[in-house]
Amino acid sequence: MQRSRTQTRQRILDAAYGLFWRQGFLRVSMDEIAARAKITKRALYQHFRSKDDLIAAALAHSSDLAIQRLQTFQRPAKAGELIDTFFAELAAWASKPRWSGGGFTRVVVELADLRGHPARGIARKHKAAVENWIAEGLAAARVASARERAREVMLLMEGAMLLMLVHGDRDYAKSAARAAKALVRA
């Protein structure tokens, strides 16, 4: 039975996603992606014109899934509980085997010299959606200047992710949560 075009495209995205997150976006070759998806390189290029298009599509798919998960997450009504839960989830994520930090941040770092790359725009949109989700939660908890506090929480989250990756110490998430709670109380 022949696979449908949609199924093949999804296999490619799944294969690319796994390889990108393990090896980095620039180090993975189209040959590796085709082999992992169990298709020919020619078939791969029938679905994606270039590796850049495939990176962008994999990130967009990943972002859609992450934002959907975030939208189903039950936000605590109190700001402190929201912060604790948010950073506890971050620490739990960082405890997974072979965790390699946030993919949206990683791709922007890898593509730092390619300002017009479509993946950078997808990463920016994703981070803005997460920041907006935090701002909405803080506003619902009646935190003053919720948008500005959300921006500060994002800075703490990004710093915690980076330092957890550098040091392998998930306590950075706890430290970031304490700092974020102090910000929302101020």
Ramachandran region, residue 118 (left: φ > 0; alpha: ψ -120 to 50; beta: rest): alpha
For the residues 24-37, what does the mean pLDDT come to? 95
pLDDT at 11: 94
For the residues 48-66, what does the mean pLDDT come to? 93
Above 60 in pLDDT, residue 94? yes
Above 50 in pLDDT, residue 1? no
pLDDT at 103: 87
pLDDT at 3: 63
**Higher pLDDT, residue 186 or 168:** 168
pLDDT band at 2 (very low <50, low <70, confident <90, very high): low
pLDDT at 21: 86
Q: How far, in Å, CA of 112 to CA of 32, rounded? A: 24
Q: Give the predicted TM-score (pTM) of the model.
A: 0.88
**Higher pLDDT, residue 10 or 2:** 10
Amino acid making up residue 144? A
Above 90 in pLDDT, residue 73? no
User: What's the length of the chain?
Assistant: 186
Mean residue pLDDT of the chain comes to 93
Residue 62 · residue 107 · CB < 8 Å: no
Burial class for 130, CB neighbours closer than 10 Å (0-12, 13-18, 19+): buried
Domains of the chain are: 1-48 (1.10.10.60), 52-185 (1.10.357.10)
